[in-house]
Amino acid sequence: MLSATDRYQRLCQRINAAAIRYGRDPGDVQLVAVSKRQPIDAIRQVADCGQYQFGENYLQEAEAKITALAPRSLEWHFIGQLQSNKTRQAAALFDWVHSVDRVKIAQRLNDQRPASAAPLNICIEVNISGEPGKGGIMPAAVPDFIDSIGDLARIKVRGLMALPAPAADFERQRRAFRRVFSVFTAVEHPAFDTLSMGTSNDFEAAIAEGSTMVRIGTAVFGPRP
């Protein structure tokens, strides 16, 4: 079995190699280590390797981890589905929320962001595969969505997030990410600098198509317990 350090270093090498292969600057691709369902000790091990951005999906679980690891000043990204009765907790705990797909959620995060904290970074989730019942807004709705949340000073719209339907074939993976990239580049917004896409199974295709932030769990931590 690989040690956490070995696994982490191999993954970082793969991310770097993919960036170079597709003509990207490796410094433009950040890694969010998705630690959902992983114990605090596993997060500590990965943080000891120098990783500081972590992603969580479940608020209650995240709160315990974020509290326990507070002295390390890690950066926490909420990537799960967010219900409106949980926005207060999310706005207090996290530095980023990647899964904003309703104006009401954005408004609540804005209103509930603690005054002592910097504005909350958010990504708008786009449903790129058109899967019904999945999170995310339709690509055509992105400009209006951005207009509707433009006055909210306590959130900072950083870009788009997408989780395309899983595809085994690399070219198909690339096609889905390419669609997200074209939605991303069509937006004219001064703070737009983040394209959050790519998981353990498809991050190389995502990097090839312009991802600036890959969200990787299994390839960092091993299988979730």
Ligand X SMILES: *Cc1c(COP(=O)(O)O)cnc(C)c1O
197 touching ligand X, by CB under 6 A: no
CB under 6 A: which stretch of 66-74, 108-116, 140-148, 215-223 binds ligand X? 215-223
Q: Per-residue x/- mask for ligand X, residues 91 to 130, rule CB under 6 A?
A: ----------------------------------------
* Of 9, 30, 89, 200, the one binding ligand X by CB under 6 A: 200
CB under 6 A: which stretch of 86-94, 103-111, 166-174, 210-218 binds ligand X? 210-218
* Of 15, 34, 82, 162, the one binding ligand X by CB under 6 A: 34
DSSP states along the chain: ---HHHHHHHHHHHHHHHHHHTT--GGG-EEEEE-TT--HHHHHHHHHTT--EEEES-HHHHHHHHHHTGGG--EEEE-S---GGGHHHHHHH-SEEEEE--HHHHHHHHHHS-TTSPPEEEEEEE--S--TTSSSB-GGGHHHHHHHTTT-TTEEEEEEEE-PPP-SSHHHHHHHHHHHHHHHHH---TT--EEE---TTTHHHHHHTT-SEEEESHHHH-S--
36 touching ligand X, by CB under 6 A: yes
Closest distance between ligand X and the C-beta of residue 34, in Å? 4
Interaction with ligand X in 58-97: which residues (CB under 6 A)? 79
Question: Interface with ligand X by CB under 6 A: which residues?
Answer: 34, 36, 57, 79, 163, 199-201, 215-219
